[in-house]
Each structure stands twice: as structure tokens, then as C-alpha cells.
Chain A
Amino acid sequence: MEATIEVSGLSKRYGSTVALDRMTFRVTPGQVTGFVGPNGAGKSTTMRILVGLDRADAGTAKVGDRSYHELVRPMTTVGTLLDAAAIHPARTGRNHLLWLAQSQRIPAGRVDELLEEVGLAGAARRRGGGYSLGMRQRLGVAAALLGDPPILILDEPFNGLDPAGFVWMRDLLRRRAEQGRAVLVASHLMGELQDLAGHVVVVAGGRVVADAPTRDMRDRYGSLESAYLELVR
């Protein structure tokens, strides 16, 4: 299996609102791909369709040459972070990861390993309801990394993190990309992406308006931020 994400001709409407209009792009392994665009441009919808939560009206969305629902133990192929707040407040962080691990037949030892890695070992046995936004974000990342997947899909992974958390997240994503994984990161933080992403997909109004190496964007527009502002205007 090749660690790629392939979105092709994806369209989706909600009533009369067009959310996606023939969205097409490809994410290749070995680098972080930035996924940027204004609110409502279709980033989250695309990601949700990629992992089978929403249904497209037309087009295909494949992860590793397959659609998500064909994957066996899907979290060992694709790690996803969409909404870090989606935990049960009464369940501890460790138990949250534990049921996820059990659903993928991943040994429980991996859970403790990951809690250590994302810096939640000390809070692992506390109820998730008491977690700060940053801690939830770390728990969400731990869930995404649980199955050691070759593909990562992360929506605003920097949300709620403190400055040390930014550094940690940046390193984590870069390291995964260097290991030959495909990493798709949706974010509004142009400064972060400029240093981190090797490639950028810019979307607006449900379609791709630019799909190029970050370096090319920077060369042409001066910075990723300028490129973004120019492209989505």
C-alpha cells in the first residue's frame, strides 16, 4: 500500500449551499501537506468524507488506494484528529485510548507508551472532563498515533497548545513525515505551515485554488500568508 491520500472530483451540497465543488488533490508521503483556506472553504468536509463520516454526492476520496470503509483496523492505516473535544467527560484519558486500542486489536501496552509520548502519563487516570484544551489535543493526537498509521489526517492540531506544545507538535509532525508517512494538516496558522509543510493545498469555495510546493508559493508571493491572502481573495 502506498501512503497517499487522493481526493478526486469530490462534490457535496448541503441544501442549496455548495460545500465541495469537484475538489481534487493528492497528498504524497514523506512530507507534511498543508491544507489551508478560509472557514467554510470545505476543509473539514473533505476530511470527514476522507474518513467515511460524511458521504460525497460525487467523486472519490481514497486513503492508501482504498476508501476508508474498506480498511480493516482502519486506525492502523489512517490516524485522524478531527475534534479533540469529542471525549466522554467521565472517562479517563487512559480508558479512552484503551477502548480505541481494543477496537483495533492493539495491545494495551501501546496505550501507556503513547500517553508517555504525548506527555499525558501524569493525567492518564484523570477524567477527561477535567482536561484543558491542550491536554485534550494531546489525547486526540495520541488516538491518531495509536495504530502507528502511515497516513495522518489532522484538523487544527495546534489548537489550544502552549508554546512548548507548538514545538512538540511541529517536531512530531516533521518526524512522522520524514519516516515516509503522508501527513495532511489543516490549519489557519500560515507561519507554522510555512516552516513545516513541504506542500500546500489552498482551497476556497469548495475547490482547490492552488496546489504547489511551499517553496514555490513563498518564492512567488513572498510568504505563505501573502500567497493565501492573494489566492482566496
Chain B
Amino acid sequence: MIRAELTKLRTVRGWLFGLTAAVVLFVGSALLVAAGSHMSCGDQACPAPPVGPDGQAVEDHFGFAHRTLAGDGSLTAHVRDFSGIITYPPPRHDQIVEGLVPWAKAGLVIKDGTRPGSPYAAVMLTGSHGVRMQHDYVHDRAGGPTGARWLRLTRTGASVTAYASLDGKTWTTVGTVEMSGPAEIGFLIASPGDITVTENGLGGTSVQSRFTQASAVFDQITSTAGGEWRYDEVGGGGPGADWEKYHRPAGLEASAGRLTLTGSGDLAPVSGMAAVPYLAGTVPALLAVLIVAVLFITSEFRRGLIRTTLLASPARGHVLAAKAAVIGGVTFTVVLVAVVAARAWSTTVFRANGNIVLPTGALTDLRLAVGTAALLAVTAVLAYGLGVLLRRGLPAILLAVLLTVVPYLLATTSLLPPGAGEWLLRVTPAAGFAVQQTFPAYGHVLLPYTPAQGYFPLAPLAGLAIAAAWALGLLVLAVLRFRRADV
């Protein structure tokens, strides 16, 4: 029965054309967007961000006062003062104010040298998230008593343990991570840019990041590592902001057991950089697939061919399931080919335009490819189910578009308030688009994690499951209704 349905699908030229069009649209859109993306840094290639120990592109830019730590050891200090400035914050963006951004960081760190992207473990005071232990850019946990200003970092063997304290006497463990090898131990200061989102007219948003600077005074320092405190601006070397030139430069001041560290930057996964846009053709390809999937069944009703089909296979549930399997399976295969082609081709174009290709990881790449194929396959089955229920092509196509493409577009173009958009992406079949989220949302990186920026309210597989539940539900409904009907 599957074979017969496959033959049916491939022997109508319009449907082959539709499926080919889906591939062409998918690959073509990816190429078009890639070709339209340019990046340049003066007259040389833009430097690629460093890659962290876990494989992500990372930002590794902070002020570092350090000594060499051979073997075991510990560092204890009191954060006497932690303050900073934010340039031109909302609402009026017209003055420089005192204050710390939520994820400004001042604390202690053990790091495998000063090479950007190298492993580290740190305990820190943050602008408004209390004491945190973070390591290797993507890992973050809260801990310690509320209001703690005392920090301690110790290394024993291969583990680094962070502590926090209110009084320097009673210590609470914040966390322990594994880290061995030669290391530098010392103080860190970092202050990420102040992120603001501006709506620019119909359906678009732009994200801006403005310069901030933090400054911390450490005293009551106890260190097992000896020597001078050497200062490095890890990952620095840019021209520097006007504030740094005319008001307060980044750097280290040491006096009478007291260290004052001033700087900007962050230790975090790279944010706000686009991945290769090879999934840009999803919606156009989806439209082509939807039309074929609907016509695959409604044409049988229109011509009375469904009766011939049922004469050949009287088990109606089986017939509908076989057709669903064929349209879903063929869509999956065709889209998988399209994704692979689009990825290879558009990456070349993207890179040739000077863009930086961020590493995404093999598992993510696999999820994006297979997930996108599954998303379109599931949506095709959903459209087909609507075709069985409505028996007429145009209404079924319109309803399928209304259930899948329309919510997605509404949510991702900020035509709706973010709350409503996210709600749509939770309950409608468009939830399946969650499978296309390239980068995870990090709790310790402040960004607008909205659908417009490519972040979805549901986890990839959860979103796909919602779409699949819709498809399955409609299919079951269609089978139940069709099983008892006269045709």
C-alpha cells in the first residue's frame, strides 16, 4: 500500500514540481540571505571569537590581576567596593549614569593562562545576581549567603572550590569544579554591554549594546601564591571607549594591601552574532510542501479517485495512515537533502562575505537538520489531515497556513507583543519551529531571548512534540470521521 501511494505521489508532475520547488526555495533563500550578509572590519578579515573548552564561541574579555599558582593553593579577599557606570541607558539615552549592569562581575578566578578562550573557574559578586560560581563561560550557579562580600577560591588536586562569607570567618561552599594543570590565580573585573531592544516599525527589532565599566576594590587579601600582581586585559586591545580615554582607563591600582581593578567585558558565550542563515528558506519551502500534502488527498476526493483507492484497499484507517506515512516520509527525505545542500552552500557564501561562522557543535547541527526535516514532515502530515477532514484543497491549505506559518510569522516579526507571540509558539503547531533554535538561552547572559531573535519558549523537542501532537490529533480525528462515512 505504501508503494502504491508512493507511485501515486511521484506520478503527478505538479506534485514533483511542488516538492522540487520546496528544495529550490529552501536552498535559494539560504543563499540569498547568506549573500546579503556582509561583515567587514576595516580592510582586514574580522577576527573570529575564541572558542571555549565546551566548543562554543565565547567572549573572553576582562581585567585580570594575577599571580602564578603552582599546584594547590587558595586566594581570599573582601570586596570592599563594587561600582560602575553605564553609558546612555534608557529611557532617554542622553547621559552617563553611575551603576552596575546586572551581570557586572568582580571576583576571584583561576584560569589556564591569559589566552582568550582558555578554561577558568571563578567566584564573583555580580551587579544584581548575588554571588555566583562560573566556569568555562557557559556554566553558572548561584550560592553563598545573601549579601556576602567575602570570597575564597581554593584548589586542591584537580578540583577548584569556591566559598563565600558574610564576615570572613564562617564560609559557605558555592561550588566545586574540576580543573587541573598550570594556572594563574587572581582577581577579575568585567562589565558586559548594556543591552536595549528598540522596535523599529513594522515587525522588526534592533538590539543595541552600550559601553559600561565596573570597578572593584579588594582588600584583606590572603594569597598562597606569591609575587607581584600582574595586570592583563584579557582579550583586550581594541581602541577603547571614549570613557576610558577621557575619564577612567581600565587597569589595576595597588596600594597598601588594597587592589582596585577597573574594566569592561564579559566571560560568557558569544551573544548577538548570527549563525549561518541556512534555515532561512524554511517558511517558503513549508508553503510548497503544505500545498502538495493537501492536494495529495483532496485531489482524490475531487476526482472521486478515493473510491478507486478504497476498492483497492478497503481498510480505510490503513489507507489514510499509508498516505500520511508517504507524504511525511517523502517530505522528511526531501527537506533533509535541502538542509544539507543549503548548509554546505550558504556557509561558503557566508564565509566568503567576511562573516564569522560560529561553531555550533555536531549535535546541534544534526538536530537542526533532522529537526527541520521532521518539522516540515510533521506539518505536511498536519496539512494532509486537514485535507482529509475538509476534503477540499483551498480551505485545507488556508487553514494549514493559518495554523502553522501565520503564528510563526506573527511571533517572530514582533507584530504581536512578545507575550502573545510566545503563547502562540507554545500552543499552535508553529511550536515545532523551536527545533530550529541554534543557540541556547543562557540565564547568565542578558539578551532579549525572544522569537524575533531566534529564541523559542519551548525546548526543541518539546516544541516538535506539540506540532506532532497536532498532526496526530488531526489525523486520528480524520480517520475516525472517514471510517464510517459513505464516499
Report A71-102 residues with CB < 8 Å from chain B CB.
Answer: 71, 74-75, 80, 82-83, 85-92, 95, 98-100, 102
Cβ distance A14 to chain B, nearest Cβ, rounded Å: 9
Cβ distance A190 to chain B, nearest Cβ, rounded Å: 27
**Bound-state Cα–Cα, A10 to B8, Å:** 35
**Once the chains bind, are A80 and B311 in contact (CB under 8 Å)?**
yes
**Once the chains bind, are A90 and B310 in contact (CB under 8 Å)?**
no
Name the residue of chain B whose CB is nearest to the CB of A92.
Answer: B11
Q: How large is the interface on B (under 10, 10 to 19, 20 to 34, 35 or more residues)?
A: 20 to 34
- Answer yes or no: A133 CB below 8 A from chain B CBs: no
**Bound-state Cα–Cα, A82 to B308, Å:** 9
User: Which of A48-56, A193-201, A209-217, A225-233 sits within the interface?
Assistant: A48-56
| Residues in B whose Cβ lies below 8 Å from that of A99 | 4-5, 7-8, 11
| Residues in A whose Cβ lies below 8 Å from that of B12 | 88, 90-91
Report B23-38 residues with CB < 8 Å from chain A CB.
Answer: none
**Once the chains bind, are B303 and A75 in contact (CB under 8 Å)?**
no
- Answer yes or no: B272 CB below 8 A from chain A CBs: no
Which among A53, A71, A89, A143 has the greatest number of chain B C-beta atoms within 10 A? Answer: A53
**Bound-state Cα–Cα, A217 to B307, Å:** 34
| Residues in B whose Cβ lies below 8 Å from that of A69 | 314-315
- Answer yes or no: A132 CB below 8 A from chain B CBs: no
| Residues in A whose Cβ lies below 8 Å from that of B310 | 52-53
Cβ distance B157 to chain A, nearest Cβ, rounded Å: 68
Cβ distance A210 to chain B, nearest Cβ, rounded Å: 28
- Answer yes or no: A103 CB below 8 A from chain B CBs: yes
- Answer yes or no: A8 CB below 8 A from chain B CBs: no
| Residues in B whose Cβ lies below 8 Å from that of A88 | 8, 12, 299-300, 303, 305
**Once the chains bind, are B11 and A91 in contact (CB under 8 Å)?**
yes
**Once the chains bind, are B304 and A98 in contact (CB under 8 Å)?**
no
Report A48-66 residues with CB < 8 Å from chain B CB.
Answer: 48, 51-55
| Residues in B whose Cβ lies below 8 Å from that of A75 | 311-312
- Answer yes or no: B202 CB below 8 A from chain A CBs: no
| Residues in B whose Cβ lies below 8 Å from that of A89 | 303
- Answer yes or no: B484 CB below 8 A from chain A CBs: yes
Cβ distance A62 to chain B, nearest Cβ, rounded Å: 14
Name the residue of chain B whose CB is nearest to the CB of A52.
Answer: B314
**Once the chains bind, are A104 and B486 in contact (CB under 8 Å)?**
no
Taken residue by residue from 13 to 44, chain A's Cβ proximity to chain B (1 for < 8 Å, 0 otherwise) reads as 00000000000000000000000000000000
**Bound-state Cα–Cα, A75 to B315, Å:** 13
The number of residue pairs between A and B whose CB atoms lie closer than 8 Å in the complex comes to 77
- Answer yes or no: B273 CB below 8 A from chain A CBs: no
Which among B7, B14, B313 has the greatest number of chain A C-beta atoms within 10 A? Answer: B7
- Answer yes or no: A68 CB below 8 A from chain B CBs: yes
**Once the chains bind, are A143 and B308 in contact (CB under 8 Å)?**
yes
Size of A's binding interface in residues, CB under 8 A = 30
Name the residue of chain B whose CB is nearest to the CB of A70.
Answer: B314
Contact partner of A103 among B4, B299, B486, CB < 8 A?
A: B4
**Once the chains bind, are B486 and A48 in contact (CB under 8 Å)?**
yes
- Answer yes or no: B1 CB below 8 A from chain A CBs: yes
Name the residue of chain B whose CB is nearest to the CB of A108.
Answer: B7
Cβ distance A85 to chain B, nearest Cβ, rounded Å: 7
| Residues in B whose Cβ lies below 8 Å from that of A91 | 8, 11-12
**Bound-state Cα–Cα, A87 to B11, Å:** 12
Contact partner of B303 among A71, A86, A103, CB < 8 A?
A: A86
**Bound-state Cα–Cα, A68 to B13, Å:** 33
**Bound-state Cα–Cα, A104 to B311, Å:** 10
**Once the chains bind, are A87 and B486 in contact (CB under 8 Å)?**
no
**Bound-state Cα–Cα, A92 to B5, Å:** 15
| Residues in B whose Cβ lies below 8 Å from that of A80 | 311
- Answer yes or no: B487 CB below 8 A from chain A CBs: yes
Contact partner of B486 among A54, A82, A86, A95, CB < 8 A?
A: A54
Cβ distance B9 to chain A, nearest Cβ, rounded Å: 9
Contact partner of B307 among A53, A74, A95, A104, CB < 8 A?
A: A53
| Residues in B whose Cβ lies below 8 Å from that of A90 | 12-14
Report B307-327 residues with CB < 8 Å from chain A CB.
Answer: 307-308, 310-315
Report B288-305 residues with CB < 8 Å from chain A CB.
Answer: 299-300, 303-305
Subset of 10 A-B contacts with CB under 8 Å: A51-B311, A52-B310, A53-B311, A55-B486, A80-B311, A88-B300, A98-B11, A99-B7, A99-B8, A102-B4
Given A48-B486, A87-B303, 14 additional A-B pairs, CB 8 A:
A55-B486, A74-B314, A85-B303, A85-B304, A88-B8, A88-B12, A89-B303, A91-B12, A95-B7, A95-B11, A98-B7, A100-B308, A103-B1, A103-B312
Interface residues of B (CB under 8 A from A): 1, 3-5, 7-8, 11-14, 299-300, 303-305, 307-308, 310-315, 484, 486-487
